[in-house]
Amino acid sequence: MTNDESLEFELKRRTRFAMLRHPASCESTQDLAAAQDADDPNAPVEAVFWADHQTRGRGRQQRAWSDGAGLDLAATFRFRAAIPRPVALPAALPVAILQAAEPFAGVPLRLKWPNDVYSGERKLAGVLVDRDSRQPDVWRVGVGLNVNSTRFAAELERHATSLAILAGRALDRRRVLLAVAERIDRVVAAVASDDCEEHEQWFRERLGLLGREVELTADRPLRGTLTAIDFDRLMLDGDDGEVAVPLAIVQSLRAIARSLLLLLPFLLAAACASDPGRPAPAAPLCVMTWNIHHGRGLALELELAQRLGMQVAFGENLDYQGGDYGNAVLSRPPIGAAHNHHYTMLRAGEQRGLLRGGLKVTGARVPATTASDHRPLVVEPR
């Protein structure tokens, strides 16, 4: 029995999926599943289409999905199911992928709206759900999961991770695929029977947004505290009171960062011209901290500097989705040379940095240092 035959046997035995197709390469496993359904109407509907490499893998909204040839998991799980609440399935499926991947990763994972699985600030997996227009009860669930890749394209290097990186070892992709198939099977059964309480609890906890100030885009932009969420709707407590928003119309949902920008000025004593042995009288120095708006970075700081008549220094730590993230200093006294230093990151997460510069205050050069991190402090046991 070949490896694929053994895997297909286990899929039949442990899940609803009765057939495995495993080409070395294809354009997209979603398209492969759709084409096979049209070409062979007698083939089992419940099937898994797994390619070692996709040449035109796709995610939501036709975004490209990259995989490491022969390293990662790019698969489509096709099945027939009558779903009483169709909006529940796309919300529940990322929970299934998280539950399947977490034991291999060996670290807690989280969900990122609407369909991604993350470790810290790095993406591990994504889910794409297609519904057959000719057979509305037939679903195609595409899963992209980074398994054994340890290097990524330059534009993804700082934003992606894999099970191998998290676990510190290479993994058997067949075992991972089987675990994903089992979890998808359970989620489909739960959603089809409208018994979603357990998965909704996972959804709430791993999304990590309850009680936090969020902003979302639905039929209009909204902002407020997220007070409740399930597979049907979310509740938002904002300026206009509590608002119920159907989950089906939520296009984006994210926490509003509350970064703490620490400005640590160290004042150097300036010698008094008339009495070199006497320290100069203290001069008042007003220091204020602020949060840079999500993704606006340098553009916002330049605008503030122009309006306030200040000089600005900005150190970029992260370029994400077209936005600049980093630390800044605005100052009425002139700013000397400024240098940004990226931290050596000891664990997966967004790049952090330290911006150092000098302010020229009453003839003396005053060092100024800024560091920013909105995440809770974690002290490593030694």
Q: Tell me where in the chain the CATH 3.30.930.10 domain(s) lie.
A: 3-207
Interatomic CA distance for residues 272 and 287, integer angstroms: 24
Give the rounded percent of residues in the chain with a pLDDT score beyond 90.
Answer: 49
Q: Tell me where in the chain the CATH 2.30.30 domain(s) lie.
A: 213-255
Q: Find where tokens 């664990």 sit.
A: 347
Could you read off the pLDDT of 306-353 as tens digits, one per residue? 667 777 777 777 665 545 567 777 777 777 666 777 777 665 566 777
Which comes out higher in pLDDT, residue 109 or 256? 109
pLDDT for residue 275: 46
Contact 49, 36 (CB under 8 A): yes
Q: Compute the average pLDDT of residues 23-28.
A: 89
Tokens representing residue 24 in the block: 């070395």
Residue 271 has pLDDT above 50, yes or no: no
Task: Name the maximum alpha-carbon separation found in the chain.
Answer: 99
pLDDT for residue 103: 96
pLDDT band at 381; cut points 50, 70, 90: very low
Q: Find where tokens 């894999």 sit.
A: 162
pLDDT for residue 135: 85
Interatomic CA distance for residues 73 and 52, integer angstroms: 7
CATH class of the structural domain 213-255: mainly beta
Among 60-69, 82-91, 113-122, 248-257, which stretch is predicted with the lowest mean pLDDT?
Answer: 60-69
Residue 273 has pLDDT above 50, yes or no: no
pLDDT for residue 129: 94
- Encode burial over 332-368: b for 16+ CB neighbours within 10 A, e otherwise: ebebeebebeeeeeeebbbbbbbbbbbbebeebebeb
Query: What CATH number was assigned to the domain covering residues 3-207?
Result: 3.30.930.10
pLDDT for residue 265: 37
Which comes out higher in pLDDT, residue 55 or 175? 175
- Residue 133 C-beta-side C-alpha neighbours within 13 Å: 0
